[in-house]
Amino acid sequence: MLEPLEFAFFQRALLAGLLASVACGIVGSYVVVKRMASMSGGISHAAFGGVGLGYLLGIDPMIGATGFALACSAGIGLAYRRLRSGMDTLIAMVWAVGMALGILFVSLSPGYAPDLMSYLFGSILFVPARYVGFAAGLDLLIVLTVVLLFKEFQAVAFDEEHAEVSGLPVGLLLLALLALVSLAVVVLIRVVGVILVIALLTMPPAIARHWSRTLPQMMALSSVLGAVCAVAGLYGSYWLSELADLNVPTGPLIILLAALLYGASVAARTVVGRRDG
Amino acid sequence: MQILWKILDASLATFLLAAPWILLGLIAAGVLHVAIARERVERWMGGRGMGSVVRAALFGVPLPVCSCGVVPLSIALRKQGASRPASMSFLITTPESGPDSILLTWGLLGPVMALVRPVASFLTAVTAGALAILFPGRADAGVPVLPAGACCADPCCGADHDAPATPTLRTRARRAAQFSFVTLLDDIAFWLVIGVLLTGVIAATFPPDLAVWGLGGGLLPMLLILVAAVPMYICASASTPVAAALVAKGISPGAALVFLLAGPATNAASVLVLTRNFGRAFIRSYLLGISIGAVGSGLLLDALLVRFGLDIVSRLPASASEELGVLHVSTGLALAALIGWRFSRGALRESLRELRDQFLMAGTGHAHEHASTVEPADPGAAARPAPADATPAIEIHDLWLSREGRPILEGINLTVRRESFLGIIGPNGGGKTMLLKVILGLERADRGTVRVLGRSPDEAQGSVAYVPQFSGFDPSFPIRVIDVTLMGRLGRGRLLRPFRRADRERARQSLERLDVGHLAGRQIGTLSGGQLQRVLIARALTMESRLLLLDEPVASLDQQIGGQLYELLAELSSSMTVVLVDHDIGVLSRYVKSVACLNRRLHYHESGRVSREMLEETYGHPVGVVSHDHPAPPRDRQRR
Integer Cα distance of B218 and B298 in angstroms: 9
Residue B264 near residue B232, CB atoms below 8 Å: no
Residues of chain A with Cβ-Cβ distance to B504 below 8 Å are: none
Helix axes A170-192, B50-60, angle to 10 degrees: 100
Taking an 8 Å cut-off on Cβ atoms, the answer to whether B496 and A212 are in contact is no
Q: Say which amino acid occupies B265.
A: A
Name the residue with higher pLDDT: B64 or A201. A201
Amino acid B518: pLDDT: 92
Instruction: Give pLDDT tens digits for A115-155.
Output: 777 888 888 888 888 888 889 999 999 999 999 999 999 99
Q: Provide CB contacts within 8 A for B324, sequence distance 6+.
A: B13, B16, B17, B317
Q: Interface pTM (ipTM) of the complex?
A: 0.88
At B635 the pLDDT is 40
Give the distance, in angstroms, between the CA of residue A203 and the centroid of all CA atoms in the same chain.
Answer: 10
Q: Is the pLDDT of residue A101 over 80?
A: yes
Query: Which of B434, B456, B487, B547 to substitute to test the interface with A, most A CBs within 10 Å?
Result: B487
Amino acid type, A85: S
Asked if the C-beta of A240 comes within 8 angstroms of chain B's C-beta atoms, the answer is no
Average pLDDT value for residue range A55-67? 86
Asked if pLDDT for residue B366 goes beyond 80, the answer is no
Nearest CB to A217 within list B50, B478, B491: B478
* Cβ-based contacts of B492 with chain A (< 8 Å): 167-168
The reply to whether residue A33 touches residue B484, judged by beta carbons under 8 angstroms, is no
B454-505 confidence digits (pLDDT tens): 888 888 888 899 998 766 788 889 999 999 999 988 876 677 778 888 889 9
At B602, which helix (H) or strand (E)? Answer: strand B601-604
On chain B, the residues whose CB falls within 8 A of the CB of A157 are: 477
Alpha carbon distance B398, B412 (integer Å)? 5
Q: Which residues in chain B are contacts of A162 at CB distance < 8 A?
A: 466, 468, 471, 487, 539
Do A164 and B488 lie within an 8 Å CB cutoff?
no
Report the pLDDT value the prediction gives residue B380, as an integer from 0 to 100: 40
Give the bridge partners for B406, in sequence order. B403
The pLDDT value given to residue B2: 77
10 Å CB burial of residue A5 (0-12, 13-18, 19+) is exposed
CB under 8 Å to A41, separation ≥6 — which residues? Answer: A91, A95, A197, A198
Contact B49 A171 (CB under 8 A): yes
- Chain B positions touching A161 (Cβ under 8 A) are 442, 468, 472
Q: Give the mean pLDDT of B425-430.
A: 81
Q: Report percent pLDDT > 90 for chain B.
A: 8
Q: Is A228 near chain B, with CB under 8 Å?
A: no
Ordered alpha helix ranges (H), A81-196 = 87-108, 116-121, 129-148, 150-158, 160-165, 170-192
Q: What are phi and psi of B556, to 5 degrees?
A: -100, 15
Q: Say which residue, B612 or B96, is predicted with more confidence.
A: B96
* CA–CA gap between residue A205 and residue A222 (Å, rounded): 5
What letter represents residue B17's amino acid? L
A165 touches chain B (CB under 8 A): yes
Give yes or no for A84 touching B (CB within 8 A): no
Residue ranges of alpha helices (H) inside B266-324 are: 268-278, 280-307
Q: What is the pLDDT of residues A197-244, one digit of tens each?
A: 999 999 999 999 989 999 999 999 999 999 999 999 999 998 898 888
Cβ within 8 Å, pair B488-A165: no
Q: How many Cα neighbours within 13 Å face the side chain of B375?
A: 19
For residue B344, give Cα distances in angstroms to A169, B19, B186, B348, B350: 52, 20, 11, 8, 11
Please state the φ and ψ torsions of residue B634, each to the nearest 5 degrees: -60, 135
Q: How confident is the model at residue A98 (pLDDT cuts 50, 70, 90)?
A: very high
Is-contact B528 B559, C-beta < 8 A? no
Indicate if the alpha-carbon torsion angle B252, B257, B262, B263 is positive or negative: positive
Tell me if A162 and B474 make a contact (CB, 8 A cut-off).
Answer: no
User: Identity (one letter) of the amino acid at A32?
Assistant: V
Q: Which residue of B has its CA nearest to A145?
A: B496
CA A179-A58-A188 angle, to 5 degrees, is 35
* pLDDT attached to residue A22: 93
B298-355 confidence digits (pLDDT tens):
888 888 888 777 777 777 766 656 656 777 788 888 888 888 888 888 778 877 777 7
B451: part of which helix (H) or strand (E)?
Answer: strand B447-452
Helix (H, G, I), strand (E, B) or coil at B603: strand
- Higher pLDDT: B142 or A12? It is A12
By Cβ distance, the residue of A158, A164, A165 closest to B479 is A158
Average pLDDT of the residues of chain A = 88
Residues B635 and B126: their CA atoms lie apart, in Å, by 37
pLDDT digits (tens, 9 = 90+) for B101-155: 888 888 888 888 888 889 999 988 888 888 888 776 654 434 444 333 333 333 3
Residue with the bigger pLDDT between B208 and B501: it is B501
Task: Give the pLDDT score at B266.
Answer: 76
Q: What is the pLDDT of residue A235?
A: 92
Give the model's pLDDT for residue B286. 85
Q: Tell me the average pLDDT of chain B.
A: 75
CB contact under 8 A, B478 and A209: yes
Instruction: Single out the residue of A195, A202, A182, A181 nearest to residue A251, CA to CA.
Output: A195
Distance CA A209, CA A259 (A): 15
Interface test with A, best of B479, B541, B545 (most A CBs within 10 A): B479
Give A164's contacts in chain B (Cβ within 8 Å): 441-442, 461
Q: How much is the average pLDDT of B179-207?
A: 76
Q: Does A245 touch chain B (CB under 8 A)?
A: no
Provide the 10 A C-beta neighbour count for residue B296: 17
Closest residue, chain B, to A219 (C-alpha) = B478
Please check the confidence at residue B634 and state whether its pLDDT lies above 50: no
Q: How far is A215 from chain B (nearest CA, A)?
A: 5
B561-590 mean pLDDT: 81
Query: Which chain B residues in 431-470 lie under 8 Å from chain A, judged by CB atoms?
Result: 440-442, 461-466, 468
Q: In chain B, how long is the greatest CA-to-CA distance?
A: 98
Give the helix, strand, coil percentages of chain B, each rounded to 5: 55, 10, 35
pTM for this structure? Answer: 0.63
CA–CA gap between residue A248 and residue B413 (Å, rounded): 72
- Longest Cα–Cα distance of chain A, Å, equals 63
Say if B404 is an interface residue toward chain A (CB within 8 Å): no
Task: Supply the pLDDT for residue B86.
Answer: 83
**Distance in angstroms (rounded) separating the CA atoms of residues A53 and B323:** 46
